[in-house]
Structure 1
Amino acid sequence: MQFDLTDLSLFRHVVEAGSITHGAERANLALAAASTRIRNMEKSLGAALLLRTRAGVTPTPAGRTLLQHSRTLLAGVERLREDLGSYTGGLTGQIRILSNTNALTEFLPEALSAFLAGHPQVSIDLEERLSDEIVGLIAEGVGDIGIVAGTVETGQLETYPFRSDRFVLVVPHDHVLAARPGISFTEVLEHDFVGLDRASALQRFLAGKASRTGKPIRLRVQLRSFDAVCRMVEAGVGLGIVPETTAHRAARTMAIGTVDLEDHWAARDLTLCIRSLKELPASARQLVEHLRKGA
């Protein structure tokens, strides 16, 4: 059995992505090369590592064992790289962050920009996920740092306050709802919406809330940013749900209004979650402290 670090990193990416194609992209390998490596790993081991279906791939019992050891070994290599980096001019390494939509779009760009400017040899892998997914993935060791809604149960993870915000309804300035001080999510489902791509964490969250009411979201346009949502709302295409910070910034230059959402989940206290601060690589520990300073 001969697995190198590229094999182990690829296998971890494939399992976490649930797809050899997407795992190869994350590992910066061609699909053919990635598939060959996986087959050679299974041949060397003499057992299947992945169950392949039309929906993607999942690890076999042998694959789960390999995944666990791969994460441990790769984390050790990352710590070694950082420790040696102290002899070559500073911290090095890659930090994996899993974040919900709100934190990713509203608070992380400036915070990460400031951190990376001071740590030029550190890179960050940032992925958008639902808050409840993030908790499980951080506990499993998939990411170093998670940023989740404060309402999510985080179990045994260490947590720290990050930021506070809330979601609001954005409407054209002359819309019939513009004069309302507040409204429930169920009531606004009677209207057309513009929103983020259906695969985004926030859009999946809202779709889940809508499904519980029996009224699906009538999504007219799918966009890639909250600012674009606000522009479409201004044009009268539909209503939008965005963070209050985004809405107030957009309202300075756009003819839009905001209405408070009365649902309890609209208020968003954002929380940092990690497995153990003392077990994080040095660069990740410094990033946690950097993010906490702005809380």
Structure 2
Amino acid sequence: MRIDPVSLRLFVRLAEAGTIALAAEQEHIAAAAVSKRVSDLEALLQTSLLTRSNKGVELTSAGIELLALARAALHELDQIPTQMGGFSSGVKGLVRICTSTSALAQFLPGRVNQVLRDHPEIRVHFQEEISTLVPRAVNGNAADIGIFTDDVAEAGLEIHPFHKDRLVLIAPQDHPLAGRLQLSFVETLDYDYVGFSHDNATQIRLMRAAEQDRRQVKVRVRVRTFEALCMMVSSGYCLGILPEEIARRHARAMDFAIVPLSDAWAERQFRIGVRSRAALPSAARLMFDRLCDGVA
């Protein structure tokens, strides 16, 4: 017996669906056929891949490992037609980019669009994640290219410096700090904040900066988006920290003050990373090279 792509695709579908019945329905085959394929894989690999119950299936440790390998193998197989087609009609294919929200909201779309204009046969899929999860997506072959901030461990990726931005304070117009030309972060810690989730890269940076002065950031409200944070500050409630470009963009429609931070850590270096440049499909390799070449 050999492992075939059909069995791997059914296994991935089952892992994502959670039940044999749903996987069979999505693949338009009999449930017994899905079960048989997985059983054959288990027999071939001599290990249990799933635990079955009346609620569905759960992956064993071996199943989790096979899921990552299967996705990688299937992705390589899917790239064969597009990569071979590139010999006759230029570079083509799908490029999967996992990126932090800040990068996607600021500078990344413009740079990617420059490549797309020059290469009409290249398609891009953006996967938006918090910076801390981006390297994991690249290492797990859920993405070809990752964009994340410099305070995130790159987990053995090939990395290059990419783009810099700067964090600024935003405050209600009537706030005591709103009229300052510049201030240090520690001067703001007596006031309440609107913040992001605990695992957000910007929030982690603020927490670490406060801890250096043995202080804490007093987060009264947590939100998920830049727009929501700006709306809370504009309505007269608390302070916020945002990338300057995003703050100025939202300030055109909302009423809040922008105050530069004097702290060195307020300048952030984004990085671009891949598992292996040499192993990238041609479209992803071209995108990676062009993005790296475009670094200011």
* TM-score, structure 1 as length reference: 0.74
Q: For the structure 1 residues 262 and 253, does the alpha-carbon distance in structure 2 shift closer, same or farther, using more than 3 Å as the test? A: same
Asked if 1:42 is matched to 2:38, the reply is yes
Query: How big is the shift at 1:173?
Result: 2.7
The residue type equivalent to 2:154 in the other structure is T
Inter-partner Cα distance in structure 1 for 2:232 and 2:36 = 50
**Which secondary structure does the structure 2 equivalent of 1:279 belong to?**
coil
Query: How big is the shift at 1:146?
Result: 0.9
Inter-partner Cα distance in structure 2 for 1:78 and 1:32 = 21
Query: How big is the shift at 1:12?
Result: 5.0
Alignment of 1:250-269 (within 5 A): 250-252=250-252, 254-261=254-261, 265-269=265-269
Alignment of 1:97-246 (within 5 A): 97-180=97-180, 181-184=182-185, 187-188=188-189, 190-193=191-194, 198=197, 201-202=200-201, 205=204, 217-219=219-221, 222=223, 224=225, 226-246=226-246
Inter-partner Cα distance in structure 2 for 1:6 and 1:211 = 53
Asked if 1:33 is matched to 2:34, the reply is no
Q: For the structure 1 residues 214 and 176, does the alpha-carbon distance in structure 2 shift closer, same or farther, using more than 3 Å as the test? A: closer
Q: Which moved more, 1:169-178 or 1:79-88?
A: 79-88
Q: For the structure 1 residues 58 and 260, does the alpha-carbon distance in structure 2 shift closer, same or farther, using more than 3 Å as the test? A: farther
**Which secondary structure does the structure 2 equivalent of 1:76 belong to?**
helix
Inter-partner Cα distance in structure 2 for 1:171 and 1:160 = 34
Is this contact kept in 2: 1:78–1:93, CA < 8 A? no
Inter-partner Cα distance in structure 2 for 1:39 and 1:185 = 59
Question: Which consecutive residues of structure 1, in runs of 5 or more, have no partner in the other structure?
Answer: 24-29
User: Percent of counterpart pairs with the same letter?
Assistant: 32
Task: Report how many residues are paired.
Answer: 280
Is this contact kept in 2: 1:50–1:57, CA < 8 A? yes
Inter-partner Cα distance in structure 2 for 1:152 and 1:13 = 31
* TM-score, structure 2 as length reference: 0.74
The residue type equivalent to 1:255 in the other structure is D
Inter-partner Cα distance in structure 1 for 2:191 and 2:132 = 28
Is this contact kept in 1: 2:5–2:74, CA < 8 A? yes
Alignment of 1:83-98 (within 5 A): 83-86=83-86, 89-98=89-98
Query: How big is the shift at 1:135?
Result: 2.4
Inter-partner Cα distance in structure 2 for 1:209 and 1:51 = 41
Query: How big is the shift at 1:97?
Result: 1.5
Inter-partner Cα distance in structure 2 for 1:270 and 1:145 = 13
Larger Rg: 2
Q: For the structure 1 residues 247 and 5, does the alpha-carbon distance in structure 2 shift closer, same or farther, using more than 3 Å as the test? A: same
Question: Which consecutive residues of structure 2, in runs of 5 or more, have no partner in the other structure?
Answer: none
Query: How big is the shift at 1:273?
Result: 0.8
Query: How big is the shift at 1:50?
Result: 4.0
**Which secondary structure does the structure 1 equivalent of 2:176 belong to?**
coil
The residue type equivalent to 2:40 in the other structure is S
Query: How big is the shift at 1:266?
Result: 3.1
For 2:76, the equivalent position in structure 1 comes to 76
For 1:273, the equivalent position in structure 2 comes to 273
Query: How big is the shift at 1:192?
Result: 4.4
Q: For the structure 1 residues 69 and 156, does the alpha-carbon distance in structure 2 shift closer, same or farther, using more than 3 Å as the test? A: closer
Is this contact kept in 2: 1:78–1:281, CA < 8 A? no
Inter-partner Cα distance in structure 2 for 1:189 and 1:38 = 59
Which whole-Å deviations, capped at 9, do the CAs of 1:12-46 have from their partners, x for residues lacking one? 5886xxx647x9xxxxxx76735958655433334
Q: For the structure 1 residues 294 and 250, does the alpha-carbon distance in structure 2 shift closer, same or farther, using more than 3 Å as the test? A: farther
